[in-house]
Amino acid sequence: MNEQPRTLYWAFLSLIGIVISIYILFPVFWLFLASFKTQAELAQLPVSFWPESATLEAYKALFSSTHQKGQLLDWPQLIGNSFFVAVSSTVIVLIFGTFAGYAFARLNFPGRDLILGGLLISRMFQGAALLLPTYRLMSMMGLQDSLVGLVLLYSAFGLPFATWIIASSLREIPKELEESAMIDGASRLQSMFLVVLPLATPALITAAMWHFVGAWSEFAFASILIESNENKTVTIGLASFVELFTLEFQYVGAAATIVALPIMLLFFFGQRYFTRGLLAGAVKG
């Protein structure tokens, strides 16, 4: 007798989920379709939802050396800059976050839990409040308009959260596994790399995915620190299409699709690791 109400309950929740998904994804899907339309087709009223004659001209224009839109920005260079910044900062965060997370999970030292909680609290500060002091600091260090400066900045901002994710996961791994390895003659460093970290792979992938997505899509700090065209990233290039009186949606749609593609692929292939790693440590403290 309870089976039918339960079925209706889950059907109702599924319907709500579908409605919310459509509401959120509809503008994104429309922008994606707009990338295959011409400017004339987008200017006509009423605007058709599906492209009447699909074209790849917007994508070709972005990668054309004669393209005159987007402040003459070189999109292959923008993509290369973003990949360099995102991948480099992800590697730095993963290396230092792994050692820091292991220390918080395995070593006992005064103020350990307080410091770990402080790392998580640091994520509560809004980025906008840090724009001015960050700009002054980077200028004083000579790292303004520098991709290396962005790498160091993103690494500093991403390290606390990555450390917290990794530490939470490592606490769920029994210490007896390490102790057995050390009894057999392994050092602490060997037991860490050969025993603990392979079991913490989902958490490491989660930390890497979170940081890569944030570094790839970050705009605020990149917009105030990067001035020269050769150092700009894809998010700055995407914003460059917004002009005072015009907004050519076919270029915006093509650029937005290119910017979103790495993130979509990342979550498509790493979703199961992402879910497992994010929930690690959620039950036990």
Q: What is the tens place of the pLDDT at every residue in 148-158?
A: 999 999 999 99
Q: How many domains does the chain have?
A: 2
* Burial class for 49, CB neighbours closer than 10 Å (0-12, 13-18, 19+): exposed
Cα 43 from Cα 120, distance rounded (Å): 48
- Please indicate whether residue 67 or residue 194 has the higher confidence score (pLDDT): 194
122 in a structural domain: yes
Q: State which residues form the domain around 274.
A: 75-278
Per-residue model confidence (pLDDT) at position 153? 93
- Which of 81-90, 182-191, 246-255 bottoms out in mean pLDDT, i.e. has the lowest? 246-255
The Cα 57–Cα 257 span in angstroms is 14
Query: Mean pLDDT score of the chain, rounded to an integer?
Result: 82
Q: Contacts by 88-93 with C-beta closer than 8 Å and gap 24+?
A: 88/151, 89/150, 89/151, 89/152, 89/154, 89/155, 89/158, 89/211, 89/215, 90/158, 90/208, 90/211, 90/212, 90/215, 92/151, 92/155, 93/154, 93/155, 93/158, 93/159, 93/162, 93/207, 93/208, 93/211
Query: Residue 160, preceding bond cis, omega within 30 degrees?
Result: no
Helix axes 249-278, 75-106, angle to 10 degrees: 20
User: For the residues 260-268, what does the mean pLDDT come to?
Assistant: 85
How far is CA 116 from each of CA 48, 239, 267, 280, rounded to the nearest angstrom? 53, 36, 27, 16
Contact status, residue 173 vs residue 194, Cβ threshold 8 Å? no
Same domain flag for 146 and 268? yes
pLDDT band of 70, cuts 50, 70, 90: very low
Q: Is residue 68 part of a domain?
A: no
249 and 172 within one domain? yes
Residues 129 and 161 in one domain: yes
- For residue 82, being part of any structural domain is answered with yes
Residue holding tokens 């992938």?
205
Q: Report if residue 283 sits inside a domain.
A: no
In a domain, 196, yes or no: yes
Same domain, 43 and 102: no
